[in-house]
Amino acid sequence: MGKRLPKIFINLMVLSLIISMFAFGASANGGKQVEVKELPLAELFGEIELSSSKPTTVIVELQAESIVEAKHKGKSQSKGKLKAERDKVISSLQGKVSNAQVNREYDHVFSGFSVELPANEIIQLLATPGVKAVYPNVHYTADVISAEEISAEAFSPEMMESAPFIGSDLAWDAGFTGEGVTVAIIDTGVDYTHPDLAHAFGDYKGFDFVDDDNDPQEGPGQYHGTHVAGTVAANGGIKGVAPEASLIAYRVLGPNGGTTEDVVASVELAVQDGVDVMNLSLGNTLNNPDWATSIALDWAMAEGVVAVTSNGNAGPNNWTVGSPGTSRDAISVGATQLPYNVYTSVISTSEGVSYPSAKVMGFPSDEELLSLNDGEYEFVFVGLGAEEDFEEKDLEGKIALISRGEFAFVDKATNAKNAGAVGAIIFNNVAGEQPDVPGMAVPTIKTTLADGQKLLAELEAGNNTVSFDIEFDKAVGETMADFSSRGPVTLTWMIKPDVSAPGVNIVSTFPGEGYAALQGTSMASPHVAGAAALLLQAHPNWGTEDVKAALMNTAEDMINPATGKVYPHNTQGAGSIRVLDAINTKTLVAPGSHSFGKFVKESGKQVERQSFEIKNLSKERKRYSFDVQFDGNPTGIKVMTSNNLQVQPGKTQQVNFNVQVDTSKLEPGYYEGPITVSDGTQSIEVPTILFVGEPDYPRVTGAFMGKEADGSYYVGSYLPGGAEVIEYDIYVLGPGNTIGGFVDTIGSFENVSAPIHEFNWDGTVQNGIDLPNGDWVLGVYVEKAGVTEYKAYLVTKN
């Protein structure tokens, strides 16, 4: 049996909002018909232990629209009206669940509240009138891989190149520094007293949602938000992307992270505080576009606040993007490594023994790496390289010999540096190759397990010196970091990240007047937030969609050195941002990427229609041509659009195009390629993707129950796509047709074929106890391709 969620962890992707009636005839064997009615319940997302009485916090979305959503739909809405609707729902809930405790209330970019109640009472919440959806209060953490505190004197030129690399210095020279633009840092708080950051803060510093006070100062032992803020707007020992932008801090992550209820509250407050840009270098591994945080960010974008998020650090596989990077409208950012040089390495011990597997793993600067060629070094074995492994050992000016295992390579190198070592050799603890790790604190060489054991043998024999012959091999351009999460987004099939930016070995501010080198998509995101600030200063009339399109339209493709090919769209998005190009662009194509979605293999020819807008920012009329080429020129994909389009200066035109997919001519998988928009002098490539495959989502379109002539029951469900796992549960029917307590699982099956599943049930539960006649709830749980669905039906047993 494959791994699956137990019945108490029900991932209810869709619980219908509309009552549907299903009445079915008797089975082929003949029997008494039993009426089955689907219960009207709000949607419930996420893994929630519904059978537990444990206090659980959830986020409730109301059917009444938020102030921003109503505004953009041309409807009238007010705080007072929303409060009345919210109070009505809360009162109704607390009438059924007396110990339900409301924590936070939302009305601006999200309509609802957070509430703590026993998990087994959440079903009562789903049945409360006025509730649209319920989301788990998921845990968020900072998207950072590693950190190393350094002194100002320790900066190497390579460490300081990330802002100039994306063209920030060119924007500064053109007069754009972020002045007049306010950026929200939604993070662990910010050390607003840091000399490089104090200029960016006014009297109002922000808000602390962790401690619920007006002081968003970073807490003891935390540093992430200060580092992020420096990348956006530092102006002192280092310079951020937008050094004259203003900052407001919102602390939502404590020492143990944070939760949805505080993140949504911070987005609400930031929008109401009038910020222009917000950066969220935080996330989780939940790949879903409709979580509460993503909804809040989408409406923040609609209200004119450029929302920028990290894409996550769960790469390099596809489908690893997490919320809030899954937001439809926010700008999600992947992490890149700046161009670097590759070196070959030969190491030899004093007796002339060489180690052919030796390769350069990582280094802080080219100069430090090449300095190892200058002489012979004593090497000292320090086990796994933990801090305690260096105690009472003299490593000053020596090489640390370290075994792989238990904790990160970067921490091993940092511990070696702190002990005085000038380099490290890390040997594998299993057969095979070790990864390259950029940004190591000391020059670090890697070897195989066999060569590591040879080095240990030499050391035991008294041969404790080693020499290096390190030579330049080749230069590598900007590359995607392996840890950077990849798309697409489930359900929407959207390309994520949207763009990429430097996120490896990034130096920025550290609490207490210090500096640190960090890596992660957390470090990439503030580069884009700072870039957005520069664009808004240059183009104060631009909307959020314009800023996003400009960054995507002018991003540069990156080449994967392992393949020699451009990285896929779901790896790099539109590419690595270039700030001045985005400022100076004369054409905007929005949206900046397209997903045609999924085409079911068995459906043959299918057509999907989409459109995008072209905005001519120049003072001259432009004629645009279009070319769509999917990689490999698959014969089953045909895209039809206008041959050319004429757009007057300052005007916007819509372009419609159709994609025809003949799945009979295509293998399952995803297909991508750019839409190239050209005005004769400038070309813009818009990433495009589509998927071909079988339905991989579970669907329950109905359930049935009937009594056989022998007194047993036939039970089943309608499954258009089949299921890998299906389970049937019986619950008590609560007041008002809600779901009460869990009784028993009456059937569990694997690899169920479409379109109908049926089994025989003897009418008993819990080890042979006859279920009394009357009204009950039949729950049907299905799982397929990692997606689950749970539906509930009122049934009558007689």
- For residue 283, what pLDDT is reported? 86
Instruction: Examine residue 255 and state whether it is found in any structural domain, yes or no.
Output: yes
pLDDT of residue 750: 93
The DSSP H or E segment spanning 571 is helix 569-572
- Residue 601 has a pLDDT of 80
Taken as a whole, the chain contains a residue count of: 798
Asked if residue 156 has pLDDT above 50, the reply is no
Strand 764-765 and strand 769-770: the pairing is antiparallel
Alpha carbons 759 and 717: distance in angstroms, whole number = 10
Q: What are phi and psi of 750, to 5 degrees?
A: -125, 155
Q: How many CB atoms lie within 10 A of CB 323?
A: 28
As a whole number, mean pLDDT of residues 128-155 equals 74
Q: Is residue 454 part of a domain?
A: yes
CB 149 within 8 A of CB 514: yes
**pLDDT of 35 above 70:** no
Q: By mean pLDDT, which of 215-224, 391-400, 481-490, 775-784 is the weakest?
A: 775-784
- Report the pLDDT value the prediction gives residue 540, as an integer from 0 to 100: 98
172 lies in the same domain as 273: yes
Q: Are residues 257 and 195 in the same domain?
A: yes
Residue 69 lies in a domain: yes
Helices 521-538 and 224-233: crossing angle, nearest 10°?
Answer: 30
Q: What is the pLDDT of residue 7?
A: 30
- Across the range 561-588, mean pLDDT stands at 96
Answer yes or no: do 152 and 285 share one domain: yes
Q: What confidence tier does 544 reach under pLDDT thresholds 50, 70, 90?
A: very high
Tokens 């089975």 correspond to 27
Residue 346 lies in a domain: yes
User: What type of residue is 653?
Assistant: Q
Amino acid 199 reads H
The answer to whether residues 98 and 243 belong to one domain is no
Q: In the prediction, which pLDDT does 305 show?
A: 99
Residues forming the active site? 187, 224, 522
What CATH number is given to the structural domain containing 463? 3.50.30.30
Give residue 424's identity as a one-letter amino acid code. A
Predicted local distance difference test score (pLDDT) of residue 401: 98
Global pTM value = 0.82
Residues 295 and 195 in one domain: yes
Pick the closest to residue 100 from 46, 67, 58, 152 (CA basis).
58
**How far apart, in whole angstroms, are the C-alpha atoms of residue 720 and residue 726?**
13
pLDDT-based confidence at residue 534 (cuts at 50, 70, 90): very high
What is the percentage of the chain residues whose pLDDT exceeds 90? 62
Residue 459: band (very low, low, confident or very high) from pLDDT cuts 50, 70, 90:
very high
* Residue 696 banded pLDDT, cuts 50, 70, 90: low
- Residue 1 has a pLDDT of 33
Amino acid of residue 63: Q
CA count, 13 A, side-chain hemisphere, 51: 14
CATH number of the domain to which 175 belongs:
3.40.50.200
Confidence of residue 150 (pLDDT cuts 50, 70, 90): low
Per-residue model confidence (pLDDT) at position 20: 31
Q: Which of 417, 446, 476 is the last residue of a domain?
A: 476
Highest mean pLDDT among 94-98, 354-358, 419-423 belongs to 419-423
Q: For residue 40, what pLDDT band results from cuts at 50, 70 and 90?
A: confident
In a domain, 655, yes or no: no
Rg (CA), the chain: 29
Contact 108, 272 (CB under 8 A): yes
Q: Does 152 score more than 70 pLDDT?
A: no
- The one-letter amino acid code at 676 reads T
DSSP-derived pairing of the beta strands 506-510 and 514-519: antiparallel
Contact assessment for residue 575 and residue 480, using Cβ atoms and an 8 Å cutoff? no
Do residues 131 and 736 lie in contact, with contact meaning Cβ atoms separated by under 8 Å? no
Helices 292-302 and 260-272 meet at what angle, rounded to 10? Answer: 10
Q: Based on the domain organization, do 310 and 184 belong to the same domain?
A: yes
The string of pLDDT tens digits covering residues 568-580 is 999 999 999 999 9
Q: Give pLDDT, residue 284.
A: 82
Q: What pLDDT band is residue 31 in, cutting at 50, 70 and 90?
A: very low
Residue 794 has pLDDT above 60, yes or no: yes
Asked whether 612 and 659 are in contact (CB, 8 A), the reply is no
Could you give the strand order of the β-sheet that contains 605-616, starting from the edge strand earlier in sequence? Answer: 587-590, 605-616, 652-662, 637-641
Residues 62 and 104 grouped into a single domain: yes
Q: What is the CATH number of the domain that holds 131?
A: 3.30.70.80
Cα distance between residue 241 and residue 247, in whole Å: 13
DSSP bridge pairs for 559: 566
pLDDT for the residue 13: 29
Domain identity same for 173 and 314: yes
Judged against a pLDDT cut of 80, whether residue 8 lies above it is answered with no
pLDDT of residue 697: 61
| Residue 569 in tokens | 């769209």
Position 777, amino acid: V
| pLDDT number for residue 662 | 92
Tell me the CA distances in angstroms from 369 to 144, 159, 341, 375, one per residue in order: 25, 15, 11, 13
* Amino acid 383: pLDDT: 96
**Angstrom distance (rounded) from CA 528 to CA 501:** 7
CB 52 within 8 A of CB 120: yes
- How far is CA 487 from its chain centroid? 8
pLDDT tens digits for range 158-186: 346 899 999 999 999 999 999 999 999 99
**Residue 110, C-beta contacts closer than 8 angstroms, at least 6 positions apart:** 61, 66, 264, 267, 268, 292, 295, 296, 299
What local confidence, expressed as pLDDT, does residue 430 receive?
Answer: 92
Last residue in a domain, options 476, 493, 509: 476
For 697-746, what is each residue's pLDDT tens digit?
667 888 898 888 898 999 999 888 788 889 898 988 887 777 777 788 89
Residue 285 has a pLDDT of 76
Q: Can you read off the two tokens belonging to residue 759?
A: 């089994």
Q: Would you put residue 367 in left (φ > 0), alpha (ψ -120 to 50) or beta?
A: alpha
Give 557: exposed, middle or buried? Use CB within 10 Å, 0-12, 13-18, 19+.
middle
Cα torsion 488, 492, 57, 94 to 10°: value is: 180
Residue 4 above 60 pLDDT?
no
| Distant-in-sequence contacts of 100-108, Cβ < 8 A, 24+ apart | 100/125, 103/57, 103/261, 104/261, 104/262, 104/264, 104/265, 106/66, 106/264, 106/265, 106/268, 106/296, 107/66, 107/67, 107/79, 107/82, 107/83, 107/268, 108/66, 108/67, 108/68, 108/268, 108/271, 108/272
Q: State the pLDDT at residue 34.
A: 56
Q: CA separation (Å) from 676 to 260, 568, 644, 680?
A: 39, 16, 12, 11
For the residues 523-545, what does the mean pLDDT come to? 98
Total tally of structural domains belonging to the chain: 3
pLDDT reading at 37 higher than 90: no
Residue 210 within a domain: yes
Residue-level pLDDT at 23? 31
Quick one: which of 284, 297, 105 has its CA closest to 184? Answer: 297
600 found inside a domain: no
Q: Are 792 and 38 in contact (CB under 8 A)?
A: yes
Which pLDDT tens digit goes with each residue over 650-673?
999 999 988 899 988 998 888 999
CA-nearest of 430, 433, 427 to 459 is 427
State the pLDDT confidence band at 254, using cuts at 50, 70 and 90: very high
Identify which of 456, 457, 505 has the alpha carbon closest to the alpha carbon of residue 478. 505
Residues 457 and 538 in one domain: no
Same domain, 362 and 304: no
pLDDT-based confidence at residue 268 (cuts at 50, 70, 90)? very high
Tens of pLDDT along 131-141? 999 999 999 98
Of residues 424, 415, 361, the one with CA closest to residue 389: 415
Alpha helix positions (H), 620-662: none
**Residue ending a domain, choose from 551, 581, 611:** 581
Answer yes or no: is pLDDT of 64 > 90. yes
Dihedral pair phi/psi, residue 238, rounded to 5°: -130, 170
User: Between 14 and 29, whose confidence is greater?
Assistant: 29
Instruction: Name, in order, each residue with C-beta under 8 angstroms of 28's C-beta and a sequence gap of 6 or more.
Output: none
Higher pLDDT, 636 or 160: 636
Task: List the beta bridge partners of residue 258.
Answer: 140
What's the pLDDT score for residue 738? 72
**What is the mean pLDDT of the segment spanning 676-705?**
85
Tell me, what's the pLDDT at 154?
42
Q: How far apart are CA 481 and CA 478, in angstroms?
A: 9
* Stretch (H or E) spanning 778: strand 774-784
Whole-angstrom distance, CA of residue 380 vs CA of residue 677: 59
Q: What is the mean pLDDT of residues 608-621?
A: 94
For residue 65, pLDDT beyond 80: yes
Query: Average pLDDT in the 635-655 region?
Result: 91
Handedness of CA 630, 631, 632, 634 (dihedral sign): negative
For residue 238, count other CB atoms closer than 10 A to its CB: 19
- Output the average pLDDT for the chain: 88
Q: Is residue 708 part of a domain?
A: no
Q: Clarify whether residues 384 and 506 are in a common domain.
A: no
Domain residues for the domain of 65 are 41-137
CB atoms near residue 342 (< 10 Å): 13
Q: In the Cβ-directed half-sphere of 277, how many Cα atoms lie within 13 Å?
A: 35
Is the confidence at residue 29, as pLDDT, over 50? no
* Residues 129 and 236 grouped into a single domain: no
For 745-771, what is each residue's pLDDT tens digit? 899 999 998 889 999 999 999 888 999
As a whole number of angstroms, the distance between CA 242 and CA 234 comes to 8
